[in-house]
Chain A
Amino acid sequence: MCGIISVVDRSRSGMDGSSIKNALSLMDERGSGEGAGYAAYGVYPDFADYYAIHLFFNNLVEPKGAVDEILRAWGKIEHEEEIPTVEQPDLRRTRIPWRYFFKPDPTLMPGSDTPEEDIIMMLVMKINTSIQGALVFSSGKNIGVFKASGWPEAVADFYQIDQYEGYIWLAHNRYPTNTPGWWGGAHPFNLLDWSVIHNGEITSYGTNRRYIESFGYRCTMFTDTEVVAYLCDLLSRRHGLPRELMVRAFAPPFWDEIDRMKKPEMELNHAIRQTYGSALMNGPFAIVVATADGIVGFTDRIKLRPLIAAEAGDRLYIASEEAAIRRMESSLDHVWMPQAGEPVIGRVQS
């Protein structure tokens, strides 16, 4: 189980979080009240050039001191604050959500093509693996992730997401099965620009995790979805794969289909499977991945989890259920069910 819904406004018009909260709440039976979350793009226009680093602190003494120190060593903290929250009757507050707006010093990462991103990635891994009581769960520019253990409406009200306006929204209602429901384990998962929501179970997790670990990533959130965010970062940002081909690596055509392709296409698909076989994801899943310039949704190769897409004007919706989409927009131009492994891509107009 788990319920996912996402929307992109291709003209970059802002949407506040109230309607996606309603849509996600419609899928309450897909969760168990142990995790929900929202990601929104474009929510920090005043700090658009800074990395918005969201953390959970266990307390504000030791872990925060250590995080302050490491961030100051690697760049400049422009602004920091506790993420505003409102206590909810059925949400037990176990973490303190905090955010920094941070600019890394690129001269400290010589030899990197993308020094700022590499510094942020390194800091996320370092904080999450070495500072007890601190967990970075969001680290992109002009992006905010808001998640906790609780029902969708409680989490939305806790963070007051109707106060934020974004042009891309992702939302997730969790039914934890393999690992405990906890604040860090709620979706979305994020690294840099990448945010991920996922319904299902990635049976290739062990392979995927060990693959990305050999590129310096460290999984710390005890769920299989975390690897998807890191794989996106590796394949897209660091290896330069276009989004369609990144999804092709995650959910490639079967060899029989590849064998029937015409030569250039066959060679390309061969190369993707041979090179990125360890990034192939198995098991039942429906995933939506977002970056600042759009969203992409896809399922596993035999579509063991539902995924519905719909369009209304400039907006593209991808969700577990059509009813949830219609909660956000009752009048849809086009509704369809994507094929297994076939990506649905919504790009923001540049």
Chain B
Amino acid sequence: MNPGSVPAKFKVRIDADQCMLCERCVENCPYGTYRREGEHISVDSRRCVACHRCVAMCPRDSITIEEKPVDYRSHPLWTRESREAIYNQARTGRIVLAGMGNASDLPIIFDRLLLDACQVTNPSIDPLREPMELRTYIGKKPRKLDLRKKRNGDIELKTRLHPNLRLNTPIMIGHMSYGAISLNAQLSMARAVASEGTFMGTGEGGLHPALREFQDNMIVQVASGRFGVDIDYLERGAAIEIKIGQGAKPGIGGHLPGEKIDPDISQTRMIPERSDAISPAPHHDIYSIEDLKQLVHSLKEATEWKKPVFVKIAAVHNVAAIASGIARSSADAVVIDGFRGGTGAAPRVFRDHVGIPIEAAIAAVDQKLRSQGIRNEVSIIASGGIRDAAEVTKAIALGADAIYIGTAALIAMGCRVCGTCYRGLCPWGIATQNSSLTRRLNPDVEWQHVANLIRGWTLEISELMGAAGINSIESLRGNRDRLRGYLLDEAMMNILDVQPVGA
């Protein structure tokens, strides 16, 4: 079969009347779509991934990129995607890789949940005039307080609170490692979370010295590969997160190709240069919930019980029971990553077919922990394709304490969700280690964009809470009365424990 028989996905056109032959498109496209040929720019549309870098950089707006119409015979079952996957695998005999989150056309539950607003019987609250509290504490909480009345009548607090992370907003940035993304991307996000009083994850790539300045706002990750993990790393983080699974690829590990392991990443990850960094699917010291509990304890012991320890799992079919086991392992928070979660690279078959939606996972986990009377003692962090402030609000109303964003933070820095992160050629300097590309992302500029995004969403959450007559985020958490299901089936509404619209 001739490779050319799979048609190009995009059609790139240059308006020759507009083009001034500045060659910025040539310089900016790392995929080699453009070439200067004499007095014109020639285009190889087949190379285009629709990252839009060229469009953004063209000073004359002379470039147009369109999705190329399907030229296969239309068929309801054998879609373009299914046929092309077969052609590609017939050619290569390998697993098909894909980047970013689940690209299947499955219904998005968030879109079918509607929020409430006050009318007449209780006043909505104006966030411009009244205090609106989004401050959130993530970590273990006591079941009840132990108090003692002193002789002078004062109340003495006997309970010692567990260490918690204090968030000014329930929005955090999830774990994207140095290696998967560039140091400049990490630096931008780190400065943003420090500025907004929230946190980001390091991913499993270790903590680069340049990020130490922001370590009080960073959650260090311990994944199965244990890259970069030593006592210094653990002590620098504000919290520690054990990664068991990831929404984009539940049940499988990670792989950073050797060509990305440059000297800097090698040092940060504590692995040899140019060697593949493979995180196995299981942690080789965790084969049971008891083993997980031991690791949680070991990490707490190593850091003198001063730091909260989170455990991250992918949202899978039995997620509630798994989360319950985690909650009882003395972990301070359970992180659930839904099947829309992004990734640098995942087998396409996993990305699009394994796991469950985050909305259902939050509801099921929250309900299970409540039925066991332990919900209040552990935090729930939800992630996986959260796109706006309404979805944050809905996730919290379903039962999350806070959320992680990932892709949204990358988009704030310029990512166009072209889904080709796994090729390491990210033209925006995000998912790449190529210095000619990484220098395109200026942390002194981009941190502000990420901070603006978090601030903007936070303001919107305040407004949504105010409209619902709520001035403290504690009263939004698990408040499913403030949600209604629209065109959701009854079984799903039972899982979510929400009423239909009109009820």
Q: Which residues of A contact B (CB under 8 A)?
A: 177-178, 200-201, 203-207, 209-211, 213-215, 238-242, 245, 254-256, 264, 267-268, 270-278, 280-284, 301-302, 304
Return 6 A-B CB contacts under 8 Å, by A number: A206-B397, A214-B372, A238-B144, A241-B145, A255-B135, A274-B137
Bound form: Cα–Cα A206–B370 in Å: 13
Contact B479 A200 (CB under 8 A): no
Contact B475 A280 (CB under 8 A): yes
Residue B456 interfacial (CB < 8 Å): no
**Chain B residues, CB < 8 A from A206:** 397, 478-482
Contact A280 B469 (CB under 8 A): no
Q: Given the known A-B contacts A254-B131, A256-B131, are A271 and B159 also in contact in the complex, defined by CB atoms under 8 Å?
A: yes
Contact B474 A203 (CB under 8 A): no
Contact B474 A278 (CB under 8 A): yes
Q: Which residues of B contact A (CB under 8 A)?
A: 118, 121-123, 125, 130-131, 133, 135, 137, 141-145, 147, 149, 154-157, 159, 161, 164, 366, 369-376, 397, 468-472, 474-482
Within the complex, the shortest CB–CB distance from B466 to chain A, in Å, comes to: 11
Bound form: Cα–Cα A301–B141 in Å: 23
Bound form: Cα–Cα A277–B156 in Å: 20
The closest CB in chain B to the CB of A235 belongs to B144
Contact A277 B477 (CB under 8 A): yes
Bound form: Cα–Cα A274–B163 in Å: 11
The closest CB in chain A to the CB of B397 belongs to A206
Within the complex, the shortest CB–CB distance from B481 to chain A, in Å, comes to: 3
Bound form: Cα–Cα A331–B39 in Å: 100
Contact A215 B373 (CB under 8 A): yes
Bound form: Cα–Cα A282–B124 in Å: 11
The closest CB in chain A to the CB of B161 belongs to A271
**Do most interface residues of chain B lie in helix, strand or loop, or is the interface mixed?**
loop
**Chain B residues, CB < 8 A from A204:** 470, 472, 474-475, 479
Contact A207 B161 (CB under 8 A): no
Q: Given the known A-B contacts A210-B480, A255-B133, are A304 and B123 also in contact in the complex, defined by CB atoms under 8 Å?
A: yes
Bound form: Cα–Cα A206–B472 in Å: 14
Contact A264 B475 (CB under 8 A): no
Contact B157 A267 (CB under 8 A): yes
Residue picked from B155, B156, B374, B397, most chain A C-beta under 10 Å = B155
Bound form: Cα–Cα A276–B472 in Å: 13
**Chain B residues, CB < 8 A from A283:** 122, 469-470
Contact A207 B479 (CB under 8 A): yes
The closest CB in chain B to the CB of A280 belongs to B474
Q: Which are the 5 A-B pairs with shortest beta-carbon distances?
A: A206-B481, A204-B475, A277-B474, A206-B479, A282-B475
Q: Given the known A-B contacts A239-B145, A274-B137, are A282 and B471 also in contact in the complex, defined by CB atoms under 8 Å?
A: yes
Contact B471 A302 (CB under 8 A): yes
Contact A281 B157 (CB under 8 A): no
The closest CB in chain B to the CB of A257 belongs to B131
New A-B contacts (15) at CB < 8 Å, excluding given A210-B366, A268-B157, A274-B164: A204-B479, A205-B481, A206-B480, A207-B475, A209-B481, A211-B478, A239-B145, A240-B147, A254-B133, A267-B161, A274-B161, A275-B141, A275-B159, A280-B474, A283-B470
Within the complex, the shortest CB–CB distance from A37 to chain B, in Å, comes to: 20
**Chain B residues, CB < 8 A from A245:** 147, 155
Contact B370 A213 (CB under 8 A): yes
The closest CB in chain A to the CB of B121 belongs to A177
Q: Given the known A-B contacts A178-B121, A203-B122, are A282 and B373 also in contact in the complex, defined by CB atoms under 8 Å?
A: no
Q: Pick the contact of B147: A214, A241, A274, A281 (CB < 8 A).
A: A241
**Chain B residues, CB < 8 A from A264:** 154, 156-157
Q: Pick the contact of B477: A207, A238, A267, A276 (CB < 8 A).
A: A207
**Chain B residues, CB < 8 A from A240:** 144, 147
Within the complex, the shortest CB–CB distance from B239 to chain A, in Å, comes to: 16
Contact A207 B125 (CB under 8 A): no
Bound form: Cα–Cα A214–B144 in Å: 13
Contact B145 A242 (CB under 8 A): no
**Chain B residues, CB < 8 A from A200:** 122
Contact A242 B125 (CB under 8 A): no
Bound form: Cα–Cα A270–B370 in Å: 23
Contact B370 A280 (CB under 8 A): no
Bound form: Cα–Cα A181–B472 in Å: 29
**Chain A residues, CB < 8 A from B147:** 240-242, 245
Bound form: Cα–Cα A256–B131 in Å: 9
Within the complex, the shortest CB–CB distance from A191 to chain B, in Å, comes to: 18
Within the complex, the shortest CB–CB distance from A294 to chain B, in Å, comes to: 16
Contact A203 B475 (CB under 8 A): yes
Bound form: Cα–Cα A302–B472 in Å: 12
**Chain B residues, CB < 8 A from A304:** 122-123
**Chain A residues, CB < 8 A from B135:** 255
Contact B376 A278 (CB under 8 A): yes
Contact B472 A280 (CB under 8 A): yes
Contact A207 B145 (CB under 8 A): no
Contact B371 A214 (CB under 8 A): yes
